[in-house]
Amino acid sequence: MSRFSSLQVVPRQLLRTSVHLRAAAGAAGLQGTRRISATRSYATESTQRPSETAQQPKFDNRVKIVEVGPRDGLQNEKKSISLATKIELIERLAKTGLQTIEAGAFVSPKWVPQMANSSEILQHLLKTPPPSPVPLTFSFLAPNTKGLDSAFSILQQHPKSFETETARSGKSSQEGGKPALEIAVFAAATESFSQKNLNCSIDTSLQRFKDVIQNAKAANLRVRAYISVVLGCPFEGYDVDPHRVATIATDLLEMGADEISLGDTTGMGTAPRTKELLSCLSSAGIRNEDLAMHFHDTYGQALVNTAVALEHGIRTFDSSVGGLGGCPYSPGATGNVATENVVYFMESLGMDTGVDLDRVADIGDWITREIGKANDSVVGKAVLGARTRERPEDVNAKAQT
């Protein structure tokens, strides 16, 4: 049971428990938007009325957390991390109620040596799927056709060990079962960052991704596309054009991407600029349900920006256990927002993540100790600290003896 189970969530009052956040964010609205070339619409508040009598709008309090720790969180660590530790991290996370875990990347080991054993990770997950209370999706980054071919070669060896997108669709949340696989690509919102990170222009990167996306979709795999530095670039500053982000997102969706994750890679995002970006995407006809937000907490604004996105109607958020992560091409940027912080924040607002906060806090403590990093989750440390303090009833019992 949630530690906030007594809270009542009321539409349009979602963030009134955090007045200072609302003041910074403004009334972004909870309206949904349409996906490119789609006729159906997503609405956070249902406007359908089963009868002539006015009905209370139906509020969607479900939030999906995408755990990026095993890939984005670990990829830039200088100290070599063993295959066993990476697999154990994924297996522990699988037991928490998380639905999607970013597990590895099929990239050049020369540039990202920490991801060199992603093939072994995928093979292990297919041969020995970790137990999970919900159907699991494992996401693997494959930024080019070479990376995708590497992933395909493993999938072909285990054709009956994973769910396709069609097979997974419509299934209820049952314990166990085969995992689903997702392929991810990543673009940049500025030319400078694209050149530094991908060694090519934005347009060239999109042309490369087109083949990756179409081949993955032909194999009936879900595709996620990241767009980096959407709220600030380490080379071009704060003024990232939201219309350019909307254009890139539109191109990726039209190629066949199922979801766009908008990355505040530098942590430079603010509440007003987050609102402006999301409003621009809405105006471009991009639905809320096709978007995810990926915040970094460099300036302590990740949860503020999360609040803005939540009120806008976004229901998918990336995070990393223990706040692990960073970006080698973004000088000064610190880790991803911690999963523990996001789960606690969502629960405090009455949102349902389905994630076991206590388990995640334990994992954050374990993995940061294991790799010799500081635990950057204030919530995780608070949860662990609360366990070490004596309960009042224990103190009273001792006093009576």
User: Which residues are the active-site residues?
Assistant: 327
**Residue 45 and residue 353: Cα distance in Å, rounded?**
18
Radius of gyration of the chain (CA): 21
- The residues, ordered by sequence, that sit 6+ positions from 296 with a Cβ below 8 Å of its Cβ are 263, 264, 265, 266, 267, 302, 325, 333, 334, 335, 336, 337
CA-closest candidate to residue 59, choices 397, 368, 349: 349
Residue with tokens 């006015």: 54
**Residue 188 and residue 166: Cα distance in Å, rounded?**
30
Residue with tokens 């500081």: 374
Q: What's 48-88 look like in SS3?
A: CCCCCCCCCCCECCECEEEECHHHHHCCCCCCCCCHHHHHH
**Residue 252 and residue 388: Cα distance in Å, rounded?**
48
CA–CA distance from 57 to each of 41, 46, 228, 310 (Å)?
Answer: 16, 5, 35, 17
The strand pair at 222-228 and 100-105 is best described as unpaired
DSSP code per residue over 308-330: HHHHHT--EEEEBGGG----TTS
